[in-house]
């Protein structure tokens, strides 16, 4: 694929999935922020998982070539990697995301010396359920072998930075830690939340989360905690979509609370709906630096959460009594009951979280760090 003559850089995004989750939401925000300064091509290792494309601004130049591009799935091999390398040669920058796109990094490792390939920046945001407790040794070794091909390895959390350094043996100079940031809602927006599909006026206490419905999010755990700890008029709202929806619905039915668990599916601007929650909940087996928590903090919500990744460091000190080990469902249920019963405690904890978000998690600094990183990589490549 030959690179056409152009002044606008052409950026290839290689995703494990492009369903709307944390990393996809960040990638979309960056595309929207870059505007007409770049063109984008998006590949997904799961070809039909493209839900995040609806959040891309109409004016952004972006293509989804599908079967016209090499697949990101398949066994490692010279012929397949050569095909990926040929495709990469048509771009000014390659951005790869998570394990599902590591073959792109491997292809660059093999063929950068014989082809004039563009710089590649790899992003790692966390692990799926198959590595929630322990990384797979083969994947650790593959990352050690492939990541020297990356111009930079970007991580959002202190924990992933330590993993990159110690387990994947990456040098400090290659690792770039950029905390996730968001567009912080104004006080006026928080005072007028968007209606939540399926939640009528006058509903009781709303416990809510935003998540891809995947096993690693362990939303069945959240259903159990809600059933044990929430008052009878409360509702559990899970914004997002994904393959675990039937399992979540089945767990709610088993516990006799199907009518109190609301799954509206994908919502384009979830933070405006989250402002209507009373309590944010997160039940994941593995996270690193979840954007949903940053959004909840920005909305002034208290959080009931599993103690994974950087969550305890992200939340305000006032919120830390409600961050508990993944397997402590009784403790989580008790924490939920305490928050549900005490509006003053909810407001004080939420105010502390919002102050932390305003202080540390605005998106402007994040966007500028990514802009500088990406364009500096391309400028270095042009000068060679």
pLDDT value at residue 128:
79
Pick the closest to residue 13 from 98, 82, 77 (CA basis).
98
User: What number is the average pLDDT over the span 145-171?
Assistant: 96
Q: How far apart are CA 327 and CA 378, in angstroms?
A: 45
Q: Using the predicted structure, report yes or no on whether residue 101 has a pLDDT greater than 80.
A: yes
DSSP 8-state assignment for residue 383: H
- How would CATH label the architecture of 187-360? 3-Layer(aba) Sandwich (3.40)
Q: Using the predicted structure, report yes or no on whether residue 201 has a pLDDT greater than 80.
A: no
pLDDT value at residue 42:
97
Q: Using the predicted structure, report yes or no on whether residue 5 has a pLDDT greater than 60.
A: no
Q: How far apart are CA 25 and CA 282, in angstroms?
A: 18
User: What number is the average pLDDT over the span 137-142?
Assistant: 96
pLDDT value at residue 112:
92
- Residue range(s) occupied by CATH 3.40.50.2000 in the chain: 10-181+363-383, 187-360
DSSP 8-state assignment for residue 47: T
Q: How far apart are CA 149 and CA 168, in angstroms?
A: 13
**243 phi and psi angles, rounded to 5 deg:** -70, -15
Q: Write out pLDDT tens, residues 47-79.
A: 888 888 998 999 999 999 999 999 999 998 999
User: Both tokens of residue 266?
Assistant: 């994908």
Whether the CB-CB separation of 322 and 305 falls below 8 Å is answered with yes
pLDDT value at residue 200:
80
pLDDT value at residue 6:
54
Q: Using the predicted structure, report yes or no on whether residue 89 has a pLDDT greater than 70.
A: yes
CB count in 10 Å sphere of residue 246: 9
Pick the closest to residue 258 from 267, 266, 270, 246 (CA basis).
246
Whether the CB-CB separation of 296 and 322 falls below 8 Å is answered with no
Q: Using the predicted structure, report yes or no on whether residue 1 has a pLDDT greater than 70.
A: no
Angle at 342 between CA 339 and CA 344, to 5 degrees: 110
Q: How far apart are CA 80 and CA 72, in angstroms?
A: 9
Whether the CB-CB separation of 297 and 232 falls below 8 Å is answered with no
In the chain, what percentage of residues exceed pLDDT 70?
97
Pick the closest to residue 30 from 123, 164, 153 (CA basis).
123
User: Both tokens of residue 125?
Assistant: 């945001």
pLDDT value at residue 19:
85
pLDDT value at residue 384:
52
Burial 135-164 (b: 16+ CB within 10 A, else e): beeebbebbeebbebbbbbbbbbebbbebb
Fold classification of 10-181+363-383 (topology level): Rossmann fold (3.40.50)
Q: Write out pLDDT tens, residues 364-375.
A: 999 999 999 999
pLDDT value at residue 30:
96
Element (H, E) at 94: strand 93-97
**Helix and strand counts by DSSP (H, E) for the chain:** 14, 13
Mean pLDDT of the chain: 93
Beta-carbon-side half-sphere exposure of residue 268 (alpha carbons within 13 Å) = 6
Q: Using the predicted structure, report yes or no on whether residue 240 has a pLDDT greater than 60.
A: yes
In the chain, what percentage of residues exceed pLDDT 90?
78
Q: Using the predicted structure, report yes or no on whether residue 116 has a pLDDT greater than 50.
A: yes
CB count in 10 Å sphere of residue 59: 8
Q: Using the predicted structure, report yes or no on whether residue 3 has a pLDDT greater than 70.
A: no
Comparing 39 with 197, the larger pLDDT belongs to 39
Alpha helices in 171-235 (DSSP H): 187-191, 219-229
Whether the CB-CB separation of 274 and 280 falls below 8 Å is answered with yes
Q: Which DSSP string do the residues of 289-305 spell out, in sequence order?
A: S-HHHHHHHHTT--EEE
- The pTM for the full model equals 0.79
pLDDT value at residue 51:
86
User: What number is the average pLDDT over the span 169-186?
Assistant: 94
């Amino acid at each position: 694929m030959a690179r056409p003559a152009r002044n606008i850089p052409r950026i290839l995004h290689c995703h494990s999935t492009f369903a709307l989750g944390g990393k996809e939401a960040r990638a979309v925000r960056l595309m929207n922020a870059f505007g007409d300064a770049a063109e984008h091509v998006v590949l997904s290792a799961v070809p039909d998982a493209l839900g995040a494309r609806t959040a891309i601004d109409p004016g952004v130049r972006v293509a989804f070539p599908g079967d016209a591009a090499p697949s990101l799935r398949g066994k490692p091999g010279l012929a397949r990697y050569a095909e990926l390398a040929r495709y990469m040669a048509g771009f000014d920058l390659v951005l790869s995301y998570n394990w599902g796109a590591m073959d792109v990094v491997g292809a660059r490792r093999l063929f950068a010396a014989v082809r004039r390939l563009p710089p590649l920046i790899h992003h790692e945001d966390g692990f799926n359920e198959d590595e929630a407790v322990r990384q797979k040794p083969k994947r650790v070794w593959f990352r050690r072998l492939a990541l020297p091909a990356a111009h930079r390895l970007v991580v959002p959390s202190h924990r992933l930075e330590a993993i990159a350094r110690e387990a994947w043996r990456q040098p400090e100079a290659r690792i770039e830690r950029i905390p996730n940031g968001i567009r912080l809602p104004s006080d006026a927006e928080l005072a007028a939340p968007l209606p939540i599909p399926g939640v009528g006026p006058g509903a009781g206490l709303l416990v809510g989360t935003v998540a891809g419905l995947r096993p690693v999010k362990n939303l069945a755990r959240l259903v159990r905690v809600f059933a044990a700890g929430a008052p009878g008029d409360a509702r559990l709202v899970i914004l997002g979509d994904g393959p675990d929806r039937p399992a979540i619905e089945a767990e709610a039915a088993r516990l006799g609370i199907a009518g109190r668990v609301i799954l509206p599916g994908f919502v384009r601007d979830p933070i405006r709906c989250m402002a209507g929650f009373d309590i944010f909940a997160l039940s994941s087996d593995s996270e690193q630096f979840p954007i949903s928590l940053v959004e909840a903090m920005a909305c002034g919500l208290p959080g009931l959460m599993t103690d994974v990744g950087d969550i305890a460091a992200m939340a305000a000190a006032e919120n830390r009594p409600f961050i508990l080990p993944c397997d402590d469902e009784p403790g989580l249920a008790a924490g939920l009951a305490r928050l549900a019963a005490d509006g003053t405690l909810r407001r004080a904890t939420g105010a502390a979280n919002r102050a932390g978000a305003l202080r540390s998690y605005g998106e402007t600094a994040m966007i500028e760090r990514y802009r500088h990183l990406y364009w500096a990589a391309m400028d270095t490549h042009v000068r060679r």
